[in-house]
Structure 1
Amino acid sequence: MIKAITVDDEPLALELIEAFCKNFDFLQFEKGFTNTDTAFKYIEKNPVDLLFLDINMPAESGVSFYKSLPHKPMLIFTTSYSEYALESYELNAVDYLLKPFTLSRFEKAVTKACELYNLVHNATASERSKCIMLKVEHGTVKVILDNILFIEGLDNYIKIHVHNQSPVVVRLTMKALLEKLNEKEFIRVHRSYIVPVNRIESFKQKIITIAGEEIPVGKNYEDQLKTLFNPNI
């Protein structure tokens, strides 16, 4: 059962989401909040699995509130403004519901959340530490960390190059992805590239080689790499 709460400054929006949740056996609607302070205190004492969150609220933005949470539940944004879609991708939100939304559209969003929940909870603790779950266009994909060759940034998208399979393309920023990775295992070498340390085959003349691919090293990242590979470099 997925425990869910909603935070929205519009009482009618809270009532609608609560009513919609009752249509799905896998959802347990816990509570609705009209301000972030009260919601934060509740989450501290009562961990939840899914958060329906408005973005544009008077006291604090939904984005700021979500970033402040020490333990982040799955996130579905609910908002009247389409211009915030990029921020939802940066936080790897499960979905982005544009008000007013129908029960059918709501079902699509919570089904994605259920799929992600099952993927994570059906994995062992060991498996969870060796993979990351990322939202793609039509659902969620599990990426095995040991299989990553390198990560390439393309505007608001990233392309994860994986050993023996097609690249995984995700709408996410490099910064947001770095926060999901172990800093001892992955290193940023360029504004457009992140690489796994153990995949680096060579580093010379500002070029890293991984699986036959040449990856440029940015000026701001050279010293970090030299320190990492000292005294061989």
Structure 2
Amino acid sequence: MQLTSIVIDDEPHAIAEICELIEITPGLSNLESFESAGDALDFLKNAAPVDIIFCDISMPNVDGLQAAGILSEFCEFLVYITAHRFHGPETYEVNASGYLLKPLKYDKFIRQIKELQKIKTEALWAGPQDETIFVKGNDKNSVLSINSQDIIFIQGLDNYIKFHTTNGEKTTYMQLKDLDATLMKKNNYLRVAKSTIISLRYLEKVDGYVAYMKTGEVFNIGKVYRPAFNNLLHQRRLN
């Protein structure tokens, strides 16, 4: 099980320490490192979600706990790495997936990663779920019901989003960046361009950096989104 990560810590030597452990940990690769939560968010808003965010707690301006709500929108697992033992209860309150103490010990680090890999693997191979999402309709008080399994791809157009489904097109007046983050964290959806999210359920094949859908659509995979796209395909390949 291959997982992607980013690291957030205001101390460069701490970043180096974490990255060294990541490099020697099978099934884990770090995409970027940042010295502030703000810089990390700027990156995440223009990239696909990552599996793990390793985050320090005590940082200037916005600390790791204050940033938990928005960071969680862009990752599957939020793991805190801190030198302070007394933050444990607070990390549980923000639903963190892990709490590791500095200086990092590799046995505890690898134990944490294996646990997250197990959770991710079980989620990937779980049976399909019939999930319904609700979005605003064309009228002020209208709400549209969409079965997420019917979504082929989602297209962002100015101030509205168009859902292309097996039952036709449905439009909601919101921006693609405001789309419920829980949809983006589902394993069957992946952003291939700034204005396009596709469902892997309807992906026919990938040739180079071109995605061919079973329904006939063809999408070029943007440079920014290729690492996450390749990572997900690697996770699911049988050979």
**CA apart distance, 1:2:** 0.7
- Conserved? CA contact 1:94–1:109, under 8 Å: no
The alignment-based identity, stated in percent, is 26
Matched to 2:82, the amino acid is: T
> Which residue of 96, 118, 129 corresponds with 1:93?
96
Corresponding residue number in structure 2 for 1:19: 20
Cα distance in 2 for residues equivalent to 1:41 and 1:34:
12
Q: Is structure 2 residue 4 aligned with structure 1 residue 3?
A: yes
Matches within 5 A, 1:149-160: none
Q: Determine which structure has greater relative contact order: mean sequence separation of CA pairs < 8 Å that are 6+ residues apart, divided by chain length.
A: 2
> Which residue of 106, 111, 114 corresponds with 1:108?
111
**CA apart distance, 1:125:** 4.1
> Which residue of 120, 144, 147 corresponds with 1:117?
120
Cα distance in 2 for residues equivalent to 1:125 and 1:61:
37
Corresponding residue number in structure 1 for 2:37: 36
**CA apart distance, 1:124:** 3.7
> Alignment length, in residue pairs?
130
Cα distance in 2 for residues equivalent to 1:51 and 1:111:
15
Corresponding residue number in structure 2 for 1:222: none
- Conserved? CA contact 1:76–1:109, under 8 Å: no
In structure 1, the residue corresponding to 2:96 is in which secondary structure?
coil
- Conserved? CA contact 1:66–1:72, under 8 Å: no
Deviations 1:49-78 (A, max 9, x none): 101010111111101112123344301110
Corresponding residue number in structure 1 for 2:56: 54
Please say which of residues 52-61 and 68-77 is displaced more in the overlay.
68-77
Matched to 1:115, the amino acid is: K
CA RMSD of aligned residues (A): 2.0
**CA apart distance, 1:21:** 0.8
Q: Give me the TM-score of the superposition, normalised by structure 2.
A: 0.51
- Conserved? CA contact 2:50–2:74, under 8 Å: no
Matched to 1:60, the amino acid is: V
- Conserved? CA contact 1:94–1:112, under 8 Å: no
In structure 1, the residue corresponding to 2:60 is in which secondary structure?
coil
Matched to 1:109, the amino acid is: Q
Corresponding residue number in structure 2 for 1:80: 83
Deviations 1:84-141 (A, max 9, x none): 10111122222211111211111111111111211222224407x69xxxxxxxxxxx
Cα distance in 2 for residues equivalent to 1:12 and 1:125:
43
Bigger radius of gyration: 1
Deviations 1:17-66 (A, max 9, x none): 11101122210111110011110011112221101010111111101112
Q: Give me the TM-score of the superposition, normalised by structure 1.
A: 0.52
Cα distance in 2 for residues equivalent to 1:35 and 1:94:
20
> Which residue of 37, 56, 64 corresponds with 2:66?
64
Cα distance in 1 for residues equivalent to 2:52 and 2:128:
20
